Amino acid sequence: MLRRHVFSLVAAALLVLGLADTTDAQDQFIVVQSTTSTQNSGLFDHILPIFRDKTGIEVRVVAVGTGQAIKNAMNGDGDVLFVHARAAEEKFVAEGYGVMRSDVMYNDFVIVGPSADPAGVAGMTDATAALAQIAEAEAPFASRGDDSGTHKAELTLWAEAGIDVVAVSGGWYRETGSGMGVTLNTGIGMGAYVLTDRATWIAYGNKGAYQIVVEGDPKMFNQYGIILVNPAKHPNIKAEAGQAFIDWVLSDAGQQAIADYKINGQQLFFPNADG
């Protein structure tokens, strides 16, 4: 009877230890609120296994538009924010939602369009002039319309071109309210011009007769930043594991992993972590 009692106690102790080990293993993950371009381009599929193999920490990505990613992070629904809208990122930190912002990498935006090029913008390098020409021709244009980093950049360019897209929305200017991939699908289906990040365009597999028509404008520079969500705002934040991911992304190894990611020999992102 005594042996049975002792055995039961030992078994119970082992069960508790086993559950603790399982819980610890399950806790070795962080949530990164990010934008669709980092996911749809395949970048995360390339770099996250490298980080996991080095640290044992799994990264679970929520890929939405930058505006939504920031809102999610403000609510504490993520440990790290990895997006591309610098002014909004700096506001996020200034308001105490993030600990510190760091540059990670960059690429650029491009305007793609059908080979017929109804607005005659192919070969232009001035994005605002090209958009003004598209508006003048009332050629179809498909916008994400989702408060993403890409959408924010597009709206800035329309404003610089002197075009009120709110006034023309629903006509030649259409808003999909969706991510980059869906917007490209929709735009191509309707023969519309689309502003997209270059990485998503390179990775996109259904180009058809579409091509890049406008590129090379410094105003279409596309910078990405990374921020630890402030644990002082949200005690559930896994600050140590989140910072470990940030430190790795900004390290020589992380930056090299980003640089190494290519499709058909084309580099999609260019690392530029702060000194």
Using H for helix, E for strand and C for coil, what is the string for 68-137? Answer: HHHHHHHCCCCCEEEECCHHHHHHHHHCCCEEEEEEEEEEEEEEEEECCCCCCCCCECCHHHHHHHHHHH
4: pLDDT confidence band, cut at 50, 70 and 90?
very low
Choose between 22 and 30: higher pLDDT. Answer: 30
9: pLDDT confidence band, cut at 50, 70 and 90?
very low
CATH 3.40.190.10 for domain 107-220: yes
pLDDT at 26 over 80: no
Q: What does the block give as tokens for 29?
A: 């993950």
pLDDT at 241 over 50: yes
15: pLDDT confidence band, cut at 50, 70 and 90?
very low
pLDDT at 17 over 90: no
CB atoms within 10 A of CB 253: 13
- pLDDT attached to residue 236: 96
pLDDT at 116 over 60: yes
- pLDDT attached to residue 185: 95
- pLDDT attached to residue 27: 57
Q: What does the block give as tokens for 106?
A: 């960059």
pLDDT at 117 over 80: yes
- The amino acid that residue 227 corresponds to is I
- Asked which of 37-41, 98-102, 104-108, 150-154 is least confident by mean pLDDT, the reply is 37-41
Strand 221-229 vs strand 98-114: parallel, antiparallel, or unpaired?
A: antiparallel
Which own/partner contact pairs does 58-61 have at CB distance under 8 Å and 24+ positions apart?
58/28, 58/29, 58/30, 59/29, 59/30, 59/32, 59/245, 60/29, 60/30, 60/31, 60/32, 61/31, 61/32, 61/34
d(CA 184, CA 63): 17
- pLDDT attached to residue 40: 87
CATH 3.40.190.10 for domain 2-106+223-271: yes
- Region 34-43 average pLDDT: 92
- pLDDT attached to residue 274: 78
Averaged pLDDT score across all residues of the chain: 91
- pLDDT attached to residue 275: 53
Strand 98-114 vs strand 80-83: parallel, antiparallel, or unpaired?
A: unpaired
Q: Give the domain ranges of the chain.
A: 2-106+223-271, 107-220
pLDDT in tens, 144-181: 999 999 999 999 999 999 999 999 999 999 999 998 99
Per CATH, 2-106+223-271 and 107-220 having the same topology is answered yes
- Region 252-273 average pLDDT: 97
Distance of CA 25 to the CA centre of its chain: 27
pLDDT at 10 over 80: no
- pLDDT attached to residue 18: 44
- Asked which of 26-40, 101-115, 122-136, 196-210 is least confident by mean pLDDT, the reply is 26-40
